[in-house]
Structure 1
C-alpha cells in the first residue's frame, strides 16, 4: 500500500528535535521557525512536557468519556485562569477543524438558525461545515457546498451591515479567525470585530472566534481577539494547545446549555491529550511565554523592517507575515536548503509566514535574521 499523495513534500526527513531545532536522518541540523503551522508552542521535547507525558503513560493513556477524568477538570481550570475566560465551559476534541464543526453545530442548536457568515481569505478546516466556511473553492467538494454559508469581505464594515440587513434573521453564527493565518497574517481591525459583535447581539447570532492558529499566546495575548476588547460567544483552539499532541477545544459561554449527547467524541479529552495540554499551560505561565512572544516579535520586526524587497510586515506577537515584492517561494527554499531554516507560506504567494515557538531565544532568532538578510540581499 502507498500513501495517498496529497502533500507536496520537501525531501527532508526529520528524525529528532529539541527546542527550536530539528535534525534529519543525515544528521543535518535545522532551525524551526515555523513550528509545523504554529503547533510547536513551547519548543520541541520540552523536558517538563516530556516528563508529564512519560509519567502519564505509566498510569493510563486512554479511556472513554463515559467515566470521570480529573485531568479534564484540571485542564479546564488552568485554561480558564490563564485565558481570562474562567466562567466559560470547555468541550475537548481532537483538532481545530473538529472544534469548529462543534462550534457551528452548537450555535445552530442554540438559536435554531442555519446560515453561517464567514469571510474572504478564511481557513477554518477541511471537514464538512468547516471547509464550507473556508475561502478556497479548490478544497470545497460538491457535497460540502451549500447556500447556507455566506461570504463577506474581510474588514469591510459596509458589506457586513448589508449582509446582516438581508440575512440577519437567518444567520446562526459568524465565524472569524482572530488573525488569518493561511490567508496571509491578515489582522481584523478593532472596529470590524466590534461591529460583528454588535450585529450578532442585535440579530441573535453567535460570534465564534477561531483561535486555532492565533491563540495560545501567539499574538502576545492569550487569544488574539482579546486585544480588541471583544468577548466571543464561542472560542475554538487547537494547534499550540498540545505542542504536537492532537487536541482541540471549544470554549463555550455559560448561556449555552449542555445536555446529554448534544456533542460527543471518542478520543477528545483523553488522558494523554489532557496531560500534554496541561504541560503547555504550565510552561507558558512559568516561563512567561506570552510576554516573550510580544518581545521577540517586536525584535524581529525592528530588525527586518528596512530590509530590501519587503513591502510590509503584518504582525501580532510571534504571528508574522512578511510581504515581499515577489513570490516568496524562492526565498523560502533558499532559507530551507541554503541556511537550514524552516519557514512557511500562505495563500498569498508573496507572504512568508513566520511562526516560531513562543520560547524562541534571541540567539536563535538572530540565526533567522542573518539568513534572511543574506537571502534578500542576493535577490
Structure 2
C-alpha cells in the first residue's frame, strides 16, 4: 500500500526537535519560523510538556466520555481563567475543523436557520460544513454544498448589514486573524459593529481562533483587541503543542442537553494534560508577553527590508507580502539558510508562525537571511 499524496513534500525528514529548532536525520539544524503550521506554541519538546505527558500516559491515557474525567474540569477552569472567558462552557474535540463543525451546528440549533455569513479568503477546515464556508472551491466536493453561504469582503460592515437584513442568517463566522488567506485582520471597530448587528438580527457570532488563539497574537484570543463577547469561539492548533486537541467555547446563554454534541476521543486524558501543560508554560514563561514584544520587534525589522510590499499581522502571526512569488524565497530560506517558513493562499505571501518562545536572536538570524536574499 502507498500513501495517498496530500501535500508536496520537502526533501527533509525531521527526526528530533527542541525549542524553536528542528533536526533532520543527518543532524542538520533548522530554525522553525512556521511552528508546524502554527501548532507548536510553547516550543518543541518542552521539558514540562514532556514530563506531564509521560506521567499521564503511565497512569491512564484514555477512557471514554461516559465516565468522569477531573482533568476536563481542571482544564476548563484554567482555560477560563487565562483567556478571560470564565463564564463560557467548554466542549472538547480533536481538531479545528471538528470545532468549527460543532460551532456551526450549535448556531443552527440555536437559531433554527441555515445560512452562514463568512468572509472572502476565509479558511475554516476541510470537513463537510467547515469546507462549505471556506473560500476555496478547489477543495469542495458537490456533497459539501449542504447549506447556503454568503462570502463578503472582510471589514465591509455595510455588506454584513445588508446580508443580515435580507436573509435569516444562523451565524456570522470570522477568523480572529485570517491565516491561510494571507494574514488579514478584521478591525476592532468592525468586530464590535458586527457583534451589534448579530444581536439586532438574532444571529450568532462565531470567532474562529484556531490559528490565531492561544496567545499567538499577543492576546489570548486575537478578537480581544475588540470589546466583544462572541457566542462561540473555536480553538485548536497551538492548544496541544502537537497533540491533537480542539474545542468550542460556548456562551452561557446556550443550554446543554444530552446528545446535542458528542465525541469519542475529544477531551481524553492525554489531550487534557497536553493543553494544561501548554497553559502552564504560557503562564510561567510569559509567552503572551513574549509574542507581543518579539512580534513587534520582528514586524519592525521586516518593514525595514528592501523589496517588501506589505507586512501584516499581530504578535507572532505575520504575513510578509512580496512583489513577486514567495515560493522561491521560501525554498532559499529553507535550503540555503535552514529556516522553515509557511505559505499562504496568496502566492506572493510568506507566513511567519514561530513558537511563542522564539527570541530576538532567532529573529535577527531570519532578518539577516532575508536581507541577503531580497537584494
Fold match by TM threshold 0.5: yes
Aligned to 1:86: 86
Counting matched residue pairs gives 375
CA contact (8 A) 2:155 2:186 kept: yes
Alpha-carbon displacement from aligned partner over 1:38-86 (angstroms, at most 9, x marks no partner):
1000000000000000000110000000000000001100000000000
1:347 aligns with 345
Task: Give 1:91 shift.
Answer: 0.2
Task: Give 1:147 deviation, angstroms.
Answer: 4.9
1:142 aligns with 2:142: yes
Residues 167-199 of structure 1 show CA distances to partners (whole Å, capped at 9, x for unaligned) of 1xx111111100000000000112221221111
Equivalents in 2 of 1:20, 1:232: separation in Å? 33
Structure 1 residues 19-39: Cα deviation after superposition (integer angstroms, max 9, x where no partner): 000111111110000001110
Contact 1:314 1:320 in 2 (8 A): yes
Alpha-carbon distance in 1 for matches of 2:275, 2:37? 17
Aligned with 1:219: secondary structure? coil
Written as runs of structure 1 = structure 2, the 5 A alignment for 1:241-320 is 241-320=239-318
Partners of 1:109 and 1:318 in 2: CA distance: 35
Q: 2:173 aligns with which of 172, 175, 180?
A: 175
TM-score (structure 2 length as normaliser): 0.99
Name the structure 2 match of 1:222: 220
For residues 318-341 of structure 1, the C-alpha deviation after alignment (integer angstroms, 9 at most, x for no partner) is 100011111111110000000000
Aligned residue in 1 for 2:62: 62
Aligned to 1:324: 322
Q: Structure 1-normalised TM-score?
A: 0.98
SS of the equivalent of 2:59 reads coil
1:24 aligned onto 2:16? no
Q: Which 5+ residue runs of structure 2 have no aligned equivalent?
A: none
1:40 and 2:72 matched: no
Matched, 1:128 2:94: no
- How far the C-alpha of 1:159 sits from its partner, in A, is 1.4
Superposed CA RMSD: 0.8
Mean Cα deviation higher: 44-53 or 353-362: 353-362
Report the 3-state secondary structure (helix = DSSP H, G, I; strand = E; otherwise coil) of the residue aligned with 2:337.
coil
| Alpha-carbon distance in structure 2 between the residues aligned to 1:305 and 1:197 | 33
Partner SS state of residue 151, structure 1: strand
SS for the counterpart of 1:249 is strand
Q: Secondary structure at the match of 2:171?
A: strand
Runs of 4 or more above 6 Å deviation: none
> Is 2:358 the counterpart of 1:360?
yes
Distance 1:371 1:165 in 2: 51
Distance 1:100 1:286 in 2: 30
Equivalent position SS for 2:4:
coil
1:154 corresponds to 2:123: no
Residue aligning to 1:198: 196
Secondary structure of the 1:338 match is helix
Q: Is the 8 A contact 1:184 1:321 kept in 2?
A: yes
Structure 1's unaligned 5+ residue stretches are none
Distance 1:280 1:306 in 2: 33
1:96-115 to 2 correspondences below 5 Å: 96-115=96-115
